[in-house]
Structure 1
């Protein structure tokens, strides 16, 4: 990381970073770890979780424009988390927390059942080489995992510029028994709250179509 990013961790991590009990790996979450929303944010408010927050552009914009909601950025890219803290501090964002951890463990373990109002997965690594596609985030059992983290009626929003990954995402979430489509036709309309990031601009510049998906959590029995 750069000196500025190292300073961000030294100065701002006490407020912004959540450090859960770990299991074996440095980015793991211990099976007994649970997020206490009120203790973390100091209030009860809707929780929006972004998986793969990158440099933090989308989630900082959202946290700034939606002060009544709370936001959690999840990533394993340490330099990106540092950049997010720097930009959040400059913007005076106080309704945002970050966690350096594996996304499925955050959704399945750290978040209590039904804790999230929305989960965002925008432009995850496509692992586009055939030998690497097994590393993709959105594959079985991701649909069941994200459904467990969402409250009844909660929404998971996804976007990618890789057609075959978009098709895989749709197949995975269509197969999740606790989720239902929140769109008609082949693809969801663009989510107004998703700012145009460098990843999206790069994909569009190469002529790749951006595809969005939206699914809603069905009521629990």
Structure 2
């Protein structure tokens, strides 16, 4: 890989909307902001271990199409891999990594402050089986990860883009199934959760119609329900608590990648 493709971890201010540089709208608006002293320390002291150096394409959170992540090289072993898309401040994935040292975890997020918090918490928890990627999630799933390399992909509380004119920015929409399925091994599980009913319905419609997935839930935990039981590995986060405080129901979904 040419040296000039290496990401600069000390990059300055970033554009608010990176979709300006992309062919498709992205599911986030990235805003720059000051980080705390502890977060700055995380990038200087902890990023060399936790953060995967990602060669870029046209935008600061893009992934160069020639870039490849080889899990066995990154983690120094072969183990089941779980990828969390939009890991936020890392509460769910740090908890999982600390509780399951026999598995490997990859957090994908575009917000630096959240990644910094994730590294600080992982360091305190002694979670050495976790790595972070600062990048647009679909590009990580489409090209950066080897095909069939992940045992699970998590999408918990993605931005709902609840205004109708913004629905095109949603991560889980037509075509997402193929993107996630490429990264998942046969029988691997895609887990989702949201507190927005219309987004949950969209997720279910998109994935029910995708021939690459089948439901990994049957409603038996809640007779008459079309939703999966709460995933026991999903810890309570600020996003979930905020939704509950506003009176919104939390809906979980789980889909299994069918055999190739």
TM range (shorter): over 0.9
Higher relative contact order, structure no. (Cα contacts within 8 Å, ≥ 6 residues apart): 1
Instruction: Give the match for residue 242 of structure 2.
Output: 202
Cα distance, 1:27 vs. partner? Answer: 0.5
Cα distance, 1:20 vs. partner? Answer: 1.4
The gaps in structure 2 that reach 5 residues or longer are 1-34, 220-225
What TM-score, normalized by structure 1, do the two folds share? 0.98
Matched, 1:45 2:79: yes
Q: Deviations over 1:31-69 (max 9, x none)?
A: 111111111000000000000000000000000111100
Equivalent residue runs for 1:7-18 within 5 Å: 7-18=41-52
Q: Deviations over 1:80-112 (max 9, x none)?
A: 000000111111110000000000000011011
Q: Output the CA distance in 2 between the equivalents of 1:199 and 1:41.
A: 29
Matched, 1:129 2:163: yes
What TM-score, normalized by structure 2, do the two folds share? 0.83
Q: Output the CA distance in 1 between the equivalents of 2:37 and 2:161.
A: 30
Instruction: Give the match for residue 257 of structure 2.
Output: 217
Equivalent residue runs for 1:172-211 within 5 Å: 172-185=206-219, 186-211=226-251
The gaps in structure 1 that reach 5 residues or longer are none
- Figure out how many residues of one structure are paired with residues of the other and give that number: 220
Q: Output the CA distance in 2 between the equivalents of 1:140 and 1:101.
A: 21
Q: Output the CA distance in 2 between the equivalents of 1:136 and 1:37.
A: 28
Instruction: Give the match for residue 84 of structure 1.
Output: 118
Cα distance, 1:7 vs. partner? Answer: 1.1
Equivalent residue runs for 1:105-144 within 5 Å: 105-144=139-178
Q: Output the CA distance in 1 between the equivalents of 2:209 and 2:146.
A: 23
Q: Output the CA distance in 2 between the equivalents of 1:20 and 1:199.
A: 28
Q: Output the CA distance in 1 between the equivalents of 2:57 and 2:211.
A: 30
Match of 2:106 among 54, 72, 76: 72
Q: Output the CA distance in 2 between the equivalents of 1:93 and 1:122.
A: 20
Cα distance, 1:140 vs. partner? Answer: 1.5
8 Å CA contact retained: 1:143, 1:175: no
Match of 2:132 among 78, 90, 98: 98
Instruction: Select between 153-162 and 122-131 the one with higher mean Cα deviation.
Output: 122-131
The 3-state SS of whatever aligns with 2:242 is helix
The 3-state SS of whatever aligns with 1:157 is strand
Q: Output the CA distance in 2 between the equivalents of 1:174 and 1:167.
A: 10
Cα distance, 1:149 vs. partner? Answer: 0.6
The 3-state SS of whatever aligns with 2:63 is coil
